[in-house]
Chains A and B, each alone.
Chain A
């Protein structure tokens, strides 16, 4: 899997149709995307554009009904530790402490206890939760819960981090801070990130490439590389130019629907 010519993720003509009560809903049609190792990709679009469906297919929670999703050139068999998911509603285990939530993955994979302890300590430090190591999720703020969710995925040696509107439920200040922290982590760890959002500014602030998606049926409309130097200044004219361009494009997809 070290072959540099094989992309870490290869989405080939992926389609997904949900069937419920005899009605079928086309959530995703003909999606194509290749992701290189270490890239930060944002999937941007309004609700119903299939961005979460695509993420869940890569996670292995859903099977594609057409095309194929490959990781390192091999079909994705189902959910697994190589692709860690960070949910908007955290998905932490409420009966486990911060420490045990982070150690859940290594324990499931049968790592020896001393190694788990070291790993957990390292990632608790990395997300700055030393004082809360023994707290339970209901004692944490939203931002702290999401830090635990991120640490839990990293502690499990995930190669790809899948984030489904992870900061959507947080207040604006916490969100900005976690965006900075996430970029910092990404730079230091060389992870590949697939990040779903419906906020244009968030996508431009974070991504190497923004994948624009549109609904009815969900599909990939365009892919834009963001060539702004990091750390990006959201109030700079260059940032605004990109925002205006993406915004116009995003709304042009909706205009026929709204009319």
Chain B
């Protein structure tokens, strides 16, 4: 099956029911995508499938056929940061950082859909992403900063 990840075309031969998470991590080497729970409870594995945030642990390889997948490393890079990543750095959000790939992908998807979210909309969109270190206050602030930045351009 064929799919595109962070702009790179791939052709892989895997089971139809292999979770996209493990296709990305183990077959194709996209390690920015994280395994946390495997049952869509934590959001660490969040990627964009054709521009929309999905839990890659509960998205099957067959569902990704022909799709454009974006991982955290395709959203932006240390040299060319996405506005959400910039905001995450400015607010020093991360502690262990393990959930932050998923948090950032979720936030980027929210802002693409809702450029000026209310506090309630932020809480609603982000509550599927667990942070065991408890960085929620900083995530909230960073989402607002990113929203402001994105509305400037």
Q: Do A and B come from one complex?
A: no
Taking Cβ atoms with an 8 Å cutoff, the residues of B that contact A are none
Taking Cβ atoms with an 8 Å cutoff, the residues of A that contact B are none
